Amino acid sequence: MKIAFVGKGGSGKTTLASLFTAYLAGGGKPVLAIDADINQHLAVALGASEEEAIAWPTLGDNMGLIKEYLRGDNPRIADAAAMIKTTPPGRGSRLVRPFEDNPIFGACFREFGGVRLGVTGQFDEDDLGVACYHSKVGAAELLLNHMVDDAGEYVVMDMTAGADAFASGLFTRFDVTFLVCEPTVRSVGVYRQYADYARDFGVRLVVVGNKVTEDEDIDFLRDEVGDALLGWMENSRHVRAAERGRARPIGELEAHNLETLGSMLATVDAEQRDWARYQRQGVEFHLRNARAWGSGRAGEDLTAQVDPEFVLGPALAGQDA
């Protein structure tokens, strides 16, 4: 299952993503996590030191490798340089499993605390005025487009805050999207914006309240988001300790907060992916991007990269498409 965490900046999105990732790993479940937030704090939230986080290899710096490997011998893609973030797999493409060994995972991911973790890369001074952060996140999107995950495998992504999560087709790559919502008018406003975007694409959007301190906070969230509210996280000494660099085992999280994580996992496990729709949506956003900017930049018609007879799915796992 692929799971995304989104929300207003400062809502605790990365904290929830790290807690859920640690909860999966603590339960012995295989989990691959990707930090696609512009601020890149997931590694530290999982317990890595600042020095370890800074030294982490990035997907953004390995875009050439990612493209070349995923291209395989797909006859519709003569040159890996012509691939863009939305390029869908077709016959001849290389597909990846989240826990296999391959050159991409070898170069871009590291094991930490029972988690296979990758980061897209920070938006730094060299990018100012000349690059868009989506060029870094695009490496993760391309990887997810070619990833075949199966039952009992979990892929968690910490997305960038705000409406930027909808700046490409990446938001359709997930089985469940958890929106972290504080009990405030501004945070609820972000939920409504996300809900409007997600509705037309069948995105499973679930709200998890955060920074709840009293019953009035819960009543507010229930009134504002209704049945979309799955549960909430109460103020946590466990989280505050982690923020001071004193990470504790996930089992020491407060009982109510552990119950909320359990409800989130049950929600994820209850979902079933429609692979045909998953492929169709990937193709739709590729065609949009190709026509809007991709073909002009590449100097060729990138809509021709679409293989109309190809459908991604678990039957193709472990082999070239």
pLDDT at 267: 98
pLDDT at 127: 44
DSSP string covering 80-128, please?
A: GGG--TTPPP-TTPBPB-TTS--HHHHHHEEEETTEEEEE-----GGGT
> What residues does each domain of the chain span?
2-306
Q: Is 21 in a helix, a strand, or coil?
A: helix
Q: How confident is the model at residue 130 (pLDDT cuts 50, 70, 90)?
A: very low
Q: How confident is the model at residue 317 (pLDDT cuts 50, 70, 90)?
A: low
**pLDDT at 126 exceeding the cut of 70:** no
pLDDT at residue 161, as a whole number: 80
Which CATH number is associated with domain 2-306? 3.40.50.300
As a whole number of angstroms, the distance between CA 284 and CA 139 comes to: 18
Q: What pTM was estimated for this model as a whole? A: 0.93
For residue 211, the surrounding DSSP H or E stretch is strand 205-212
Q: What is the CA radius of gyration of the chain?
A: 19
pLDDT tens by residue, 60-71 = 999 999 999 999
Give the pLDDT mean for 219-238: 95
Closest listed residue to residue 148, CA positions, set 309, 317, 29:
317
Q: What is the side-by-side order of every strand in the sheet holding 115-119?
A: 109-112, 115-119, 31-35, 154-158, 2-7, 176-181, 205-212, 229-234
Phi, psi of 262 (to 5 degrees): -65, -40
Average pLDDT over residues 49-58: 92
